[in-house]
Amino acid sequence: MIITAEGPKSNPAGQSRGRASRHAQDVASAKDAWQQANDSAHPDAAPRAAYNLGYLLEKQGDVAGAKDAWQQAIDSGHADMAPQAAPHLRVLRTGKGTHRARRRR
What the chain holds in terms of domains, given with CATH numbers, is: 12-104 (1.25.40.10)
Per-residue pLDDT of the chain (105 residues; tens, 9 = 90+): 333 344 444 455 455 555 545 555 678 888 888 888 888 889 998 999 999 999 999 988 999 999 999 999 999 999 999 999 999 999 999 987 665 554 544
Alpha-carbon distance 81 to 74, whole Å? 7
Can you give the pTM of this predicted structure?
A: 0.72
Alpha-carbon distance 67 to 82, whole Å? 13
Query: What are phi and psi for residue 30, nearest 5 degrees?
Result: -60, -45
